[in-house]
Structure 1
Amino acid sequence: MPFYNQNTTADIVAADVAAQIEGKVILTTGVSSGTLGATFVESIAQHRPALLILAGRSLTKIQETGKAITAAFPAVTVRLLELDLSSLAAVRKAAEKVNAWDDIPHIDVLVNNAGVMGVPWSKTVDGIESTFEINHLAHFLFTNLIITKLLAAKNPRVVNVGSEGHRFNPVRFGDYNFHGGSAYNKWQAYGQSKTANMLFSVSLAKKLGGRLKSYCLHPGFSGTHLADHIDWQQEQVAIQEVEQVLGNETGPIEFRSPAHCAATHVYAAFDPALEAHNGGYLLNCHVADPFVDTVKPWGTSEVEAEKLWRLSEKLVEQKFTY
């Protein structure tokens, strides 16, 4: 088994799992140029996947990534999917489109990569706090709506891109909307959504473990477009305040390149060694050790995972029983 750490790049892991990438159909959300999602799909494109489905809110932006892949690897088929995670109706429309693609009978890997971070208070058209809906609820709905395509694959995987930032907050089951904004803290909102990403993977492993593998990962911090609006020098103070309230250890944020951060995407999506760790939380291309790494118990609890599943079903007004 190869040795990976924080210095491993996506290209290195992709080369090691080339046999697992070849011939696969992979759907990735949030793949605009300059993002970790784009870095991920560009890294695996060199190893002959059968199809890369690029999903995002802006077709123009994801088309840029698609063109770059086609130019570099003409043999790789690329398909675009408009997916607006800030609207559950739009999510349903995108899922209907995927399910109607008769020429694509299965999807091998779904990478729920898209998200927002540290944004001001706002509600979506569905009346839900935007970070929670975009980062978790929309992906919850989309994944479940296309689950038949996933389960038709030989050994499907669902990868949810979370964050070490889950340490900022558990899921606020009694007040996920932060009291209509009056109790809003953008880093607690981000923490809640990233905890939800972890719990979603726990639920998928619990409910579909015999038929599907699911993992959540912390990619690390990188200067991508996700944080274009953030002044890290200023926000470091706000983050430390949240950490202090929770009694967490505090320290400077360490940034790495997109190539290093996307390595765990590739590892989670394809490494065969992960078969025994369904529902696991990953970072730096390894299964996180709760005694060494930052892994809050509220992100790994099966009880919390089931509570979130039920809340999510209530909010999307649809039940998914497996």
Structure 2
Amino acid sequence: MTPYNSKTTASELASDFTPSITGKTILITGVSPSGIGAATSAAIAKASPALIILAGRNPSKVSTTAADVARPYPNVPTKTLKLDLGSLQSVRDAASEVDSWADVPVIDVLINNAGIMAVEYGLSPEGVETHFATNHLGHFLLTNLLMGKLLKAEAPRVVNVSSDGHRMGAVRFDDYNFDGGKTYNRWVAYGQSKTANMLFAVSLASKVAAKGLVALSVHPGVIATNLADHLDGNEDFAELKALDQAQGNKEGWAEFEWKSADQGAATSVFAAFSPELKEHNGAYLQDCHIADPWTETVKSWATSPIEAERLWRLSEKLVGQEFPY
């Protein structure tokens, strides 16, 4: 594979992958200014896509990102979409709106980028722990509801932005709500949701590959974005290191290697447009390559086809809808 690395930027990749981006319709969730979703959209715009759909919970922030894209690239069309992934009704409303757009017959690439990290215990309107609901269930439902337009594309791709934080926990199939909060640990909850992002890609690769869809998950790296604005840089991350050490993870004794937003968006762009990945459906990537389970953090619970199928069935139950393919 082409030797990109942790320093590669999304902007560089957009130049390299221009033939794969030009004329495509891309939907990106979680596009607050200064985040990696915004950086992803800015990089993609330079390669003249047909349309970028910018989806997020806060319409004002989404509009700001749309304006940031339009300023240097006024000829690149954008649409904005109100989407609160923590509410299944909001997800359904957003998917229905996209389906109603007659001028958007296909979605070539869906980048499930939005997420929350290490928040206090809470439940979604449907009664599901907040990380699991927002980071996984919302994207699970959105992706499946948009599958009709995805499968009309010539070579559709779904990219789930996960994290090496999946090391913090497998999916707690019998207690995803942490016993009503009694056993809650915010980093374990975050880990469960990031594991789910990876398993969802494994499931899609298994179920929809025959229809031409490629699904991948990525670790973007450690980036200073508003995802962690609510956290104390010392105390809260010391809690994370302590958990890593208790679990025996190497990250408990390592320093964070920080990336810029443009570098953090790179692996998403690589996953979405690299022609080299067509034969690696369901893979988990980091630093613009397929992660190596021998040398990098890739927990087996996040790549198991059995765990993936269990999660698919649980997710269908929780959203109240089945998606047979």
Pick the TM interval, shorter chain.
over 0.9
Aligned equivalents of 1:213, 1:151: Cα separation in 2: 11
Q: Counterpart of 2:12?
A: 12
For residues 1-322 of structure 1, what are the structure 2 equivalents within 5 Å? 2-210=2-210, 211-249=212-250, 250=252, 251-322=254-325
- Could you tell me the TM-score, scaled by structure 1's length? 0.98
1:113-137, Cα deviation, whole Å (9 max, x unpaired): 0000010001111111111100000
Q: Percent identity?
A: 52
1:185-229, Cα deviation, whole Å (9 max, x unpaired): 000000000000000000000001122000000000110111111
Aligned equivalents of 1:109, 1:41: Cα separation in 2: 12
- Could you tell me the TM-score, scaled by structure 2's length? 0.98
1:205-261, Cα deviation, whole Å (9 max, x unpaired): 000112200000000011011111111211232112322332222222221111111
- Corresponding residue pairs, total: 322
> Any unmatched runs of 5+ in structure 2?
none
Corresponding residue SS for 1:238: helix
1:264-298, Cα deviation, whole Å (9 max, x unpaired): 01101100001111000000000011001100000
Aligned equivalents of 1:235, 1:220: Cα separation in 2: 18
Amino acid at match of 2:269: V
> How far is the alpha carbon of 1:161 from its aligned partner?
0.1
Aligned equivalents of 2:223, 2:241: Cα separation in 1: 19
Amino acid at match of 2:71: A
Aligned equivalents of 2:110, 2:296: Cα separation in 1: 26
Alignment RMSD:
0.9
Corresponding residue SS for 2:237: helix
Aligned equivalents of 1:70, 1:255: Cα separation in 2: 28
1:1-43, Cα deviation, whole Å (9 max, x unpaired): 5320111111111110000000000000001111000000000
Amino acid at match of 2:245: Q
> Any unmatched runs of 5+ in structure 1?
none
